[in-house]
Structure 1
């Protein structure tokens, strides 16, 4: 399970880090630090605090889209939007995840060396209101055409998680379920 952070879903930094700590205790294995509306300095502070929270656990930190913070913190990996990934020079053995929204993007990201793809949105979600979910058939199709890991995102909750895993997903990512 992956946690995608969103500071805007909580009232304070204190609550933010409490939610992350609770998710780590729950057993998540990856945290994608994805804060779109903060400065590099604030993001760097968040990354360092999360690094302390996950110390001595099996959980790993992934920085979303910010190469400056990625290079400063040297976390487990970096996560990129598809278009940004197309221009990224992946180093050997580097962990690079890619957000995809179509089977074509999934196949291309895999061919270009993505470590994993984050496939969305599987179900309808508040984060993308009005956008119909692609369903688990999307995961099934992608799994037949890529060799990298496929992580499902979008509207995934405890009551539909089994269906997602049964479709072949290697993991699930959630934001609201952990941050709210």
Structure 2
């Protein structure tokens, strides 16, 4: 039933699809569908909870907790990008789900927060080990995941190696010397 629901929601959108459409695609009666799900929002919520990527991200980051960010981040972000690419229908559902359905938006926010928290925890562990400078790990996690998700959603995939390199190395020149005009712009002096 969830496979059929995903197909129908991806094709018609959440608002354009009905429980009857999902039941027909699943080859069941609407009554049977209602036996398992209270309605359309419950179907979307079940899809987000069962098919989401947060659990896989947490597993990846936990198994590599002691490994360097230069090794772990490219691998984890490549896998996340692969999950997005392989689950294009689910990604469309993620972006569509929160617009007009408050309950679904809440579940989506939980899902996103779980993935961001897993990444932020990993980044904080690398700060504690002295590998990374102290920074707002939640913002970094948000930037990493959002960049890939928005890129995939828009059909403009992001180069994972470039993104991770930007996060790890920033935009400051390698020699550390900031040209005077740039320094004035940064500090406002």
Q: TM-score normalised to the size of structure 2?
A: 0.27
Question: Which structure shows the higher strand fraction?
Answer: 1
Question: Which structure shows the higher helix fraction?
Answer: 2
Larger Rg: 2
